[in-house]
Amino acid sequence: MNVDALVSVIAFAVVFVAIFGALYTGAWRSYRKGELDFTAVRLLRWALFGFAAIYVLLAITSLFS
């Protein structure tokens, strides 16, 4: 059980989600103003889910390595 690797994956994921969350919030505001199509917001949402899946796999891998 590699706790140090797990902590580093979690820390990196938190920083990434904070940055990506700011990007998503800006895109959502632009969509609400009519400056952006909903397709871009949907694409960012799928990208966030994809990265979340990757970080879950990294966390599991680092936990059991």
Residues of the chain scoring pLDDT < 50: none
CB 59 within 8 A of CB 6: yes
Q: Which ranges constitute the DSSP H helices of the chain?
A: 3-33, 38-64
What domain count does the chain have?
1
Which range of residues forms the domain containing residue 38? 3-64
10-24 pLDDT, tens digit each: 899 999 999 999 999
What is residue 53's predicted lDDT score, i.e. its pLDDT?
A: 93
CB 63 within 8 A of CB 10: no
What is residue 63's predicted lDDT score, i.e. its pLDDT?
A: 81
What backbone phi and psi angles, to 5 degrees, belong to 56? -65, -45
